[in-house]
Amino acid sequence: MTKNKKNIEYIHSNFWEEIPEKNDAFSARIFRCAGYDVYGDLLGKASWIEYLYLLFHGEQPSLDQARLLNDLAVALANPGPKDCSVQAAMSAGAGGSTLAAALMAALAAGAGGFGGAREVYETIILWQQCQHKLEMWQEHLGQWQNNICNEERTEYAFAAEADMESVWPPMDHPPGFNPYAYNCSTPVLRLLEHLSQIQENKNLNWLKEHRLQLESIAGCPLDVSGVAGAALADLSFDPQQGELLYLLLRLPGAAAHALEQHWLGCSSFPFYRQGLNITNDPGPVEPNEKLPTT
């Protein structure tokens, strides 16, 4: 909060300014973002992605930076129905919840440390710590592997969380890698190939060159969160900015799937209506004995 000469408190922002109407102090006449008049300098001239970059960085992106963020946004827009965040939104939509609740469900399910925004947070920290030094990646990813095997918390289990009271539990796999996949998926490979071709993306180029070595060290293949973390680090987003952007950029797909299930209704939602096909049925189970009544 800041105060003017009349000792009136105002909300302080380093990047946002509102100039009120002359006859209405509660209505803004001009909105300025990092000095740009939103409805004069940006509207009709800046793309959504350029404005998004401006909001987070306070400066206009270069053409390559705008292209990188735009292409990453396209890749992340819909993780698909297998993703936990999309499934949560679909369930909310099919169950008749409000559409706002569907988005909140997607945010909650997509915020964690397995393929979620927190994993991107940790991945960006790895890039800050290791940069392009393979021996540093060997040390850090090795520590994650040892932490998994020994089930002990190490100094790397929370890369930037010195606070032991953090709400986030220690991750059980190296951030940016998929512990349940056998190989690096085709979409991840295509995304890495495409983004690394854009100029001035040093992290992505290094990741493409050393992917197989990093996968060998991590013991599992690269995931889309790993590519996203490298791209966001190339764009100079800090871990918290990257975490928020990852949540934001994945919401369109969750919203579209939630709407689809909302229209179809719960009767069309796949709840195995034909029953489960059990291949190793142990046979009938004797009912439990009745408990004595009192």
Say whether pLDDT at 116 is over 50. Answer: yes
Q: Nearest-5° angle of CA 18, CA 20, CA 23?
A: 175
pLDDT at 145: 64
> What is the reported pLDDT for 6?
61
The tokens for 257 are 């799937």
- Rounded Cα distance, 261 and 109, in Å: 17
Are the CB atoms for 250 and 76 separated by under 8 Å?
yes
Q: What is the pTM of this model?
A: 0.83
Q: In 10 A of CB 137, how many CB atoms?
A: 22
Percent of the chain with pLDDT over 70: 81
Mean pLDDT of the chain: 86
Helix (H) or strand (E) run with residue 36 in it? strand 36-37
The model's confidence at residue 153, banded by pLDDT at 50, 70 and 90, is very low
What's 35's DSSP letter?
T
Rounded Cα gap, residues 104 and 113, in angstroms = 17
Q: What is the DSSP letter of 89?
A: H
pLDDT given for residue 177 in this prediction: 96
pLDDT in tens, 206-252: 999 999 999 999 999 999 999 999 999 999 999 999 999 999 999 99
Residue 14 has pLDDT above 50, yes or no: yes
pLDDT band at 12 (very low <50, low <70, confident <90, very high): confident
